[in-house]
Amino acid sequence: MHPEYHFRLFIAGQTHTARRAMDHLHDYVRLLEARGIPVSMEVVDILEDLQVAETERILVTPVLIRKRPEPELRVVGDLSVKARVFCAMELPGEAPGD
């Protein structure tokens, strides 16, 4: 039985970079769900919620944070390299080929 994973993605506006980060996160969530792993996610636009960005100490975007299970882990910047994201987020199983 896998623990539930919860991800929080921080973006700054609806830029091309932000849309790509959201697309990649959706892809990763679908991959995990297909493996029977419970996943939830949220996207926070720091331009709309500066307080959360300050509380989470977000200095650049995009930033992907694995909130659960603990410990909290982060990936800053490009989320397009699946192997990098899966390794940094300590996700179960191997990342599918990039």
Instruction: Identify whether the C-beta of residue 16 lies closer than 8 Å to the C-beta of residue 34.
Output: no
Res 2: pLDDT: 78
To which residue do tokens 């996700």 refer? Answer: 91
pTM, 2 dp: 0.91
Q: Is the dihedral of CA 78, 56, 26, 84 positive or negative?
A: positive
Res 18: pLDDT: 97
Q: What angle do CA 39, 71, 19 make, to 5 degrees?
A: 50
Whether the pLDDT of residue 49 is over 70: the answer is yes
CATH architecture of 5-88: 3-Layer(aba) Sandwich (3.40)
Per domain, the residue ranges of the chain are: 5-88
Neighbours of 44 (CB within 10 A): 19
